[in-house]
């Protein structure tokens, strides 16, 4: 009887040890505002999820796991799961990345000294005369004999013109790939365990998976919303991505 009871208890503890644990949490930023579309990565299992519009997320894990939080415009954050995190909600506070402000040229203002202000504001007489001479030259009509054809020269007859065809896109896929890598930064792909030599190959792989980019290529412009769409596409395609064999040797 004791052996049977011991066996039952042993099975119970084994099942309990193998039970899947989940970590729940909420991600906020400045002024306690929730942050959506944050990539949450369990470094041990390589599982990835995104926070919802309210900043909430759920991911499988256990005590000792490292959770990594990644989003464009915010500093990357790593958190080690402790026993308390598996029992209650985890609160994560992300900080916006520092942005360098472009240098602003400060022009000299008026001082009140008429002589000094006149020298700084008025252009020189030579420059004024040159501008006047150029304007006078441009306003004069050309002599028709200058543009007339010389004896024996072929002259293109005037007509209604012709169509040059459809205007090309401002970007191609290579331009778009370069912009994505520049905007997200190589660290974003490193966090996704994409080695640097394969970043462009991986971005192209995601784009070829049906990512809508017609207007992006047409106008040569990518919005923050487009970058978020790309990040969601990354999470859908990364599990099926394989490093090119020729480059992997």
Nearest residue to 25 via CA among 63, 46, 52: 52
Tokens of 30: 């400045």
Lowest mean pLDDT, pick from 31-40, 105-114, 184-193: 105-114
Q: Which residues contact 136 (CB under 8 A, 6 or more apart)?
A: none
Query: What distance in Å separates the CA atoms of residue 184 and residue 181, rounded to the nearest whole number?
Result: 5
CATH number of the domain residue 24 falls in: 2.60.40.10
* Domain membership flag for residue 148: no
The yes-or-no verdict on residue 213 having pLDDT over 90 is yes
The yes-or-no verdict on residue 49 having pLDDT over 90 is yes
The yes-or-no verdict on residue 12 having pLDDT over 60 is no
Q: Which residue has the higher pLDDT, 19 or 41?
A: 41
Percentage of residues of the chain with pLDDT beyond 70: 68
Query: What distance in Å separates the CA atoms of residue 157 and residue 141, rounded to the nearest whole number?
Result: 22
* Domain membership flag for residue 80: yes
Q: Which residue has the higher pLDDT, 132 or 100?
A: 132
How much is the mean pLDDT over the chain? Answer: 79
Tokens of 22: 């989940």
Burial 1-20 (b: 16+ CB within 10 A, else e): eeeeeeeeeeeeeeeeeeee
* Domain membership flag for residue 244: no
pLDDT band at 136 (very low <50, low <70, confident <90, very high): confident
172-187 pLDDT tens trace? 999 999 999 999 999 9
Sign of CA dihedral 5, 9, 15, 21: positive
Q: Helices 224-237 and 199-207: crossing angle, nearest 10°?
A: 100
CA dihedral 38, 40, 41, 45 (to 10 degrees): -150
* Domain membership flag for residue 147: no
Determine how β-strand 39-42 pairs with β-strand 66-70.
Answer: antiparallel
Tokens of 85: 């995190």
187-209 pLDDT tens trace? 999 999 899 999 999 999 999 98
The yes-or-no verdict on residue 48 having pLDDT over 80 is yes
* Domain membership flag for residue 45: yes
- Residue 26: enclosing H or E segment and its boundaries? strand 22-28
Tokens of 20: 């899947």
* Domain membership flag for residue 88: yes
Domain stops at, among 93, 125, 140? 93
Determine how β-strand 22-28 pairs with β-strand 90-93.
Answer: parallel
In the 8-state DSSP scheme, what is residue 34? B
Supply the pLDDT for residue 154.
56
Tokens of 46: 């390589």
Domain stops at, among 59, 93, 127? 93
- The SS3 call for residue 31 is helix
Q: Which residue has the higher pLDDT, 99 or 131?
A: 131
* Domain membership flag for residue 153: no
Phi–psi pair at 23, nearest 5 degrees: -115, 125
The yes-or-no verdict on residue 143 having pLDDT over 90 is no
Supply the pLDDT for residue 17.
45
Domain stops at, among 93, 127, 142? 93
Q: Which residue has the higher pLDDT, 13 or 236?
A: 236
- 170 Rama sector, left if φ>0, alpha if ψ -120 to 50, beta otherwise: alpha
The domain total for the chain is 2
Supply the pLDDT for residue 112.
56
* Domain membership flag for residue 13: no
Residue count of the chain, please give it.
249
Supply the pLDDT for residue 166.
59
Supply the pLDDT for residue 110.
58
Quote the domain boundaries for residue 209.
Answer: 173-238
Q: Which residue has the higher pLDDT, 136 or 90?
A: 90
Supply the pLDDT for residue 127.
74
pLDDT band at 137 (very low <50, low <70, confident <90, very high): confident
């Amino acid at each position: 009887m004791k052996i049977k009871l011991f066996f039952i208890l042993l099975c119970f503890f084994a099942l309990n040890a193998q039970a899947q644990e989940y970590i729940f949490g909420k991600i906020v930023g400045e002024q306690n505002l929730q942050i959506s579309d944050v990539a949450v990565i369990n470094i041990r299992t390589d599982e990835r999820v995104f926070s919802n519009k309210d900043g909430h997320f759920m991911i499988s894990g256990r005590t000792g796991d490292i959770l990594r939080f990644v989003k464009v415009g915010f500093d990357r954050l790593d958190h080690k799961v402790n026993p308390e995190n598996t029992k209650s909600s985890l609160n994560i506070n992300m900080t916006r990345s520092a942005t360098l402000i472009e240098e602003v040229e400060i022009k000299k203002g008026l001082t009140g000294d008429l002589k000094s202000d006149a020298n700084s504001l008025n252009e020189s007489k030579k420059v004024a005369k040159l501008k006047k001479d150029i304007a006078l030259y441009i306003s004069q009509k050309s002599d028709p004999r200058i543009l007339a054809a010389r004896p024996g020269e072929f002259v293109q007859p005037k007509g209604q013109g012709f169509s040059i065809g459809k205007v090309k896109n401002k970007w191609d896929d290579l331009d778009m790939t370069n912009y994505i890598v520049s905007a997200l930064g190589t660290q974003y792909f490193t966090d996704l365990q994409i080695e640097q030599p394969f970043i462009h190959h991986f971005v192209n792989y995601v784009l070829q998976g049906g990512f809508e980019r017609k207007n992006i290529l047409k106008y040569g412009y990518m919005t923050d919303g487009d970058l978020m769409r790309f990040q969601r596409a990354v999470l859908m395609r990364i599990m099926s991505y394989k490093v090119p064999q020729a480059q992997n040797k």
